Chain A
Amino acid sequence: DQQVKQNSPSLSVQEGRISILNCDYTNSMFDYFLWYKKYPAEGPTFLISISSIKDKNEDGRFTVFLNKSAKHLSLHIVPSQPGDSAVYFCAATNTGFQKLVFGTGTRLLVSP
């Protein structure tokens, strides 16, 4: 039973355009959400997070949007750069808890 779903296994975008990565969750108890980025042969690294008390969090080129009623979040990267090419994992948890539930990941390819 996949509680966090990333239905697009891959996404291709041209440099300079917007990348939108999507994530859906089924557990209404989740109230804290994170995105991790993973390059080949490396471990995932934390990118950005959002609490359910917000609907948007921005950090430079990266913005995460949360739609609680739809149990959906998205990561926007603007503008996309070739160095953003990686696998992006969405994760969810309850605030204060350390246990994260991850999705299956979306591979982003940004072409020059």
Chain B
Amino acid sequence: DAGVIQSPRHEVTEMGQEVTLRCKPISGHDYLFWYRQTMMRGLELLIYFNNNVPIDDSGMPEDRFSAKMPNASFSTLKIQPSEPRDSAVYFCASSPYRGGTDTQYFGPGTRLTVL
């Protein structure tokens, strides 16, 4: 299994530009999570999906952020317009559902720099 795949691995953009981060979860996993890692706040959950349906988006910082999961094998996190304070590492994770709290498998992350 290839694990969770994220692209791009690095993104450098200018303030005001649209940024799209992509994620392919592990096949067969029911849950998909988007996290943001910063020094000050650690790993923050932005949004998560169950069977392609958004369940909790309370961590999305503001309307500039949006996430979609059009099918079981693909999700996007979009920032429009981007701002320098959005600079962070963004992780996608997926987990199966076997009852209980299941292990989340993280992708390698996308390091976003907004100039």
Give how many B residues have a beta carbon under 8 Å from the other chain's beta carbons.
29
Given contact pairs A41-B108, A43-B107, A43-B109, A105 touches B102 in the complex (Cβ within 8 A): no
* B43 proximity list for chain A (CB < 8 A): 44, 89, 91, 102, 105
Known: A34-B101, A43-B105, A98-B48. 4 other contacts (CB 8 A): A43-B93, A46-B104, A97-B101, A105-B43
Which residues does chain A contribute within 8 Å of B48, judged by CB atoms?
A: 98-99
Name A's interface SS. loop
Q: For A2, list chain B residues within 8 Å (CB).
A: 41
Q: How near does chain B come to A99, taking the closest CB pair, in angstroms?
A: 6
Chain B residues in the interface with A (C-beta under 8 A): 4, 31, 33, 35, 39-45, 48, 50, 56, 91, 93, 95, 97, 99-109
A4: nearest chain-B partner, CB-CB: B42
CA distance A103 to B42 in the complex (A): 6
Binding site for B on A (CB under 8 A): 2, 6, 32, 34, 36, 41-46, 49, 89, 91, 93-105
Closest 6 interchain pairs by CB?
A43-B106, A104-B42, A102-B43, A46-B103, A44-B106, A98-B31
Which listed residue (B4, B42, B102) contacts A102, Cβ 8 A?
B42
Residues of B near A91 (CB, < 8 A) are: 43
Residue of A nearest to B4 (CB): A43
